């Protein structure tokens, strides 16, 4: 089957690999759509993602697909089911999986069946959830990001009536802004530096927008919330934001880092910060928590509070996936890029 891989040294391209052979607790899935991740995928391509050192590595981790067949002990998936987060597990010698959803076929694991049989399923299996059969696969690919963001908000401890500033208004940052508003946080401040991102921040419901082309971020945030914000979130992977946030947070406030930086070192001056504050990194969401977040996401979509297409800027066929990564590399992707596999 055809798959798209990071080849090492910044190179990328299509390779041919065998179709996966599911175990007795796995189902074979024909992938229908996969979102491209500006954080993880791009860093894997350039050899800057911790834990992925071997190449070629098949890319993609934001996919959805249809179950084709099931293993002998699978109880909760059946052929035709639309499922989230299929991955490539076992790989042929010399080929590696960076989750591997950018391939024609993947597998999902029946975590519930394993648990019912007294076994411990892999953590990722709890995120491999069923979706409504008629759910649009392109929208479903965006839902992968939505689940990650909502579960991460819980890990960071976001609560209603607390203030938040968000740096980075890509599809992840936009989701944080929208969900913060849906969950009752206020004020929610978006930090941007382009007209399209200003428009995105307004569309997502930000209470205030700070445009760093014309305003100083820390001074602007302090004008809006003189006592400092409760939470300052880096959704872009900009290490310098931690130092800037020290001057923006309230006593007892929290700096939250979700974006993955390519830089491996960080320095900041604590002389301007409150005596009490928290710095929390959370860059690898819990798949069990993601699975639990799905029902809330689907309810927001069903009632019109959340529209996945608002966060998607480009839909490309599989043979143009390289073009999608180029858009990310060149900073021209205004939202999520979704690859369709048909």
CB burial class (10 A; 0-12, 13-18, 19+) of residue 50?
A: exposed
The class that CATH gives domain 2-135+307-340 is alpha beta
Please report, in angstroms and rounded to a whole number, the separation of the first and last CA atoms in the chain.
13
Of 330, 338, 335, 340, nearest in space to 313 by CA: 335
Buried b or exposed e, range 106-143, using 16+ CB within 10 angstroms:
bbbbbbbbbeeeeeebeebbbbbbbbeeebbbbbbbbb
CA-angle at 202, arms to 233 and 259, nearest 5°: 25
User: What HEC string does 272-311 produce?
Assistant: HCCCCCEEEECCCCCHHHHHHHHHHHHHHHHCCCCCHHHH
Give how far the C-alpha of residue 141 lies from the chain's centroid of Cα atoms, to the nearest Å: 10
- Rounded CA-CA distance 280/258 in Å is 9
Beta strands across the sheet bearing 188-192: 208-211, 188-192, 164-167, 229-234, 249-257, 278-281
In sequence order, what are the beta bridge partners of 97? 58
What residues contact 175, with CB distance under 8 A and at least 6 apart?
A: 145, 146, 149, 204, 311
Question: In this predicted structure, what is the pLDDT of residue 8?
Answer: 94
Task: Please state the domain extents for the chain.
Answer: 2-135+307-340, 147-281
Q: Which residues of the chain, if any, have pLDDT below 70? A: 262
At 201 the three-state DSSP class reads: helix
Choose which CATH entry (3.40.50.2300, 3.40.50.720, 3.90.1150.10, 3.40.50.1260) describes domain 147-281.
3.40.50.720
pLDDT at 6: 97
How far apart CA 260 and CA 283 sit, in angstroms, is: 7
Structure-token match 């390779």, residue found? 15
**Residue 81 confidence (pLDDT):** 98
Percent of the chain with pLDDT over 90: 86
Q: Tens of pLDDT along 291-312?
A: 999 999 999 999 999 999 999 9
**Closest C-alpha to 228, from 192, 276, 269:** 276
- How far is C-alpha 138 from the geometric centre of its chain's CA atoms? 15
Distance CA 334, CA 245 (A): 25
- Amino acid 239: pLDDT: 86
How does pLDDT run across 20-34, given as a tens digit for each residue? 999 999 999 999 999
């Amino acid at each position: 089957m055809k798959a798209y891989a990071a080849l090492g040294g910044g190179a990328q391209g299509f390779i041919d690999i065998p179709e996966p052979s599911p175990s007795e607790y796995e189902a074979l899935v024909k992938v229908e759509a996969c979102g491209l991740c500006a954080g993880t995928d791009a860093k894997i391509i350039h050899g800057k993602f911790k834990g992925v050192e071997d190449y070629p590595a098949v890319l993609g981790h934001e996919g959805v697909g249809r179950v084709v067949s099931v293993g002998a002990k699978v109880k909760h998936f059946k052929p035709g089911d639309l499922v989230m987060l299929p991955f490539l597990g076992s790989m042929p010698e010399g080929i590696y999986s960076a989750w591997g959803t950018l391939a024609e076929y993947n597998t999902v694991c029946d975590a519930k069946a394993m648990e019912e049989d007294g076994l411990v399923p892999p953590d990722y299996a709890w995120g491999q959830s069923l979706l409504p059969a008629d759910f649009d696969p392109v929208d479903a690919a965006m839902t992968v990001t939505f689940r990650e963001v909502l579960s991460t908000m819980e890990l960071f401890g976001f609560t209603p009536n607390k203030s938040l500033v968000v740096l980075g208004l890509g599809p992840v940052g936009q989701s944080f802004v929208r969900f913060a508003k849906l969950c009752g946080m206020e004020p929610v401040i978006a930090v941007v530096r382009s007209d399209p991102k200003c428009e995105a921040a307004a569309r997502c419901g930000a209470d205030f927008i700070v445009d760093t082309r014309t305003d100083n971020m820390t001074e602007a945030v302090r004008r809006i919330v003189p006592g400092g914000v409760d939470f300052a979130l880096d959704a872009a992977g900009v290490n310098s934001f931690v130092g800037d946030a020290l001057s923006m947070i309230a006593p007892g406030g929290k700096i939250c880092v979700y974006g993955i930086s390519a830089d491996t070192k960080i320095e900041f001056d604590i002389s301007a910060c409150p005596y009490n504050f928290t710095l929390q990194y959370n860059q690898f969401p819990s798949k069990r928590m993601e699975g639990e977040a799905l029902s809330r996401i689907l309810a927001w979509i069903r009632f019109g509070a959340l529209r996945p297409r608002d966060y998607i800027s480009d839909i490309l066929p599989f043979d143009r996936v390289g073009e999608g990564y180029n858009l990310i590399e060149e900073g021209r992707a205004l939202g999520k890029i979704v690859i369709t596999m048909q």
